[in-house]
Amino acid sequence: MEFLDNCLSFPVNIFSGMMIIAAIYWLIASFGLLDVDSLDLDMDVGGDLGGDGPDVGLGDAGPAVAGVSGLEALTSLLFHLGLYGVPMTLILSLITLTGWVITFCVFDLTLGRFLAPGPLRYILGVPLFAGAFIAGALLTSVIIRPLRPFFKKEPSVTAASICGRVVLVRSTRVTDSYGEAVYEGGGTNMLLDVRPAREGAVFKRGDKAVLLDYDAARRLYTIISEDEFRGR
């Protein structure tokens, strides 16, 4: 009963409620009804999140610009706290768990033991909650550090992203009407339809070529020889 009384006392009850929400979320996610990364932010870890940008007049678009600035400030804060590289749902769950443990232990040893329920307990509970939340965030940043490699996302391969890459001609020849080449990258092999970029260019099986451009309408690439691409 003492344990339940502490769990339902302020400020422990805030983390207790968050724990219940997190448990329900992970239960639903385990059935595949929700994505684990559904709350992830688009954070460029290698970019300059805190750089100075040009002054923007808000005008009628003030709320939208303010919203973007707020999101950038949030991603910058999370980055500097080390809260990145794993799904945001996991980060929030770990902050909730560590914050609950800290709040429960401190409350049980101090406020719950020496203060009767009343206004003073609520007043002192506010800084306890804030301190436990900050401490939980810092502990979470340490916990997730070794987990980041397991959640590293491979960059998606698009038609535009592989232009300028080297391919190996697979077909016996490459003409204005037919040609195939293989692109090896990202751990996968892609068979591509290719055409010579320059009229009269000759390619045979086993030749190396460079993807010069992509024709979305015809869904094929134009290629030039590797030597020509490098100016040899």
Q: What is the pLDDT of residues 209-231, one digit of tens each?
A: 999 888 888 888 999 988 787 77
Where does the pLDDT of residue 14 fall: very low under 50, low under 70, confident under 90, or very high at 90 and above? very high
Q: How far is CA 225 from its chain centroid?
A: 37
Please compute the mean of the pLDDT values over residues 190-214 and round it to a whole number. 88
Q: Is the peptide bond before 11 cis (omega within 30 degrees of 0)?
A: yes
Whether the pLDDT of residue 114 is over 80: the answer is yes
pLDDT digits 0-9 by tens, 44-73:
444 444 444 433 343 444 444 444 456 667
Q: What pLDDT does 150 receive?
A: 84
Which residues touch 211 (CB under 8 Å, ≥6 apart)? Answer: 162, 163, 164, 165, 167, 183, 192, 194, 221, 222, 223
- Cβ neighbours for 205, distance < 8 A, ≥ 6 positions apart: 169, 170, 171, 172, 173
Q: Write down all domains in the chain, each with its CATH number in brackets.
A: 2-151 (no CATH), 166-229 (2.40.50.140)
The DSSP bridge partners found for residue 190 are 183
Cα maximum dimension of the chain? 91
Strands 166-169 and 180-185 come out as antiparallel
pTM value > 0.75:
no
CA 168 to CA 184: how far, in whole Å?
9
